[in-house]
Amino acid sequence: MVTWFRAHAPIRRKFDILFVAYVTLTAIPAATTWLATSGRAPDGALLSIACGAWALVAVVALLSKRLICDP
């Protein structure tokens, strides 16, 4: 899949894939915020999940930069 993304996917498809990835990853902290304010789960666990999603956004950004821009 990564080879296809790097070598064969059209640029518009790459950005469509990244759009879905970013929307999904940004929905995670929104969901954890909702769970924390409703008292449905422990705050510490939810904070860890939200921070993990934040870290994944950084990883996706750096990886996609390399896969799209490097020859």
The whole-angstrom separation of Cα 57 and Cα 51 is: 10
Quick one: what percent of the chain has pLDDT higher than 90?
Answer: 90
- Residue 29: closest CA among 15, 37, 19: 37
The pLDDT assigned to 48 comes to: 95
Instruction: Residue 34: give the domain boundaries.
Output: 2-69
The whole-angstrom separation of Cα 25 and Cα 21 is: 6
**Average pLDDT value for residue range 2-11:** 94
Tell me: the pLDDT tens digits for 30-45?
Answer: 999 999 999 888 989 9
The pLDDT assigned to 26 comes to: 94
Number of domains in the chain: 1
The whole-chain average pLDDT of the chain stands at 94
The pLDDT assigned to 66 comes to: 95
